[in-house]
Structure 1
Amino acid sequence: MNLHYMVVIQWSDEDNCYLVHLPDFPSQQFHTHGDTYEEALKNAQEVLELLVEEYQEEGKPLPEPKTIEQLTLSGEASRQAIA
């Protein structure tokens, strides 16, 4: 199974770094960060790999990746844009 999960990366003036949100794994608002966009993206990949591994070890089903349309309809995308 080859799932593709969405990664939302946004700059935070308050934290002075890029924050990473993984909408398909809603247990936390932000999952990682990076001083540069590239570092945030690399860290996001690592977190996704760890989350998938954790879900598999615990026998939990992986969440279905959401489409941008689903996020927009649920208001998730607009909440992230505002945050």
Structure 2
Amino acid sequence: MCTDLPSVPSAEDEVLAELRRRLVREAVAALPGRCPQLVAALVEDPPPTYRELSRRLGMPRGSIGPTRARCLACLRTLLHGERYA
């Protein structure tokens, strides 16, 4: 048996993956303030620099890191809450 072949996800795996993506998109959209734009920027490829984010979001560079942490904590709470369980 050849073990080098890539595994093909089952239809159930694909449906569950799409459900997870949809739940994350909904949770990001529910974040307060600039969080949706900041979180969306975190997954860009390549990610923008803090200088670019500062200009784009109109916030001081020094506040991006702490804001990012708060946004991700809020996202984590939303995703672990009853609505997204």
Same fold (TM over 0.5): no
Give the TM-score normalised by the residue count of structure 2.
0.30
> Max radius of gyration: which structure?
2
Could you say which structure has the greater relative contact order, defined with CA pairs below 8 angstroms and 6 or more residues apart? 2
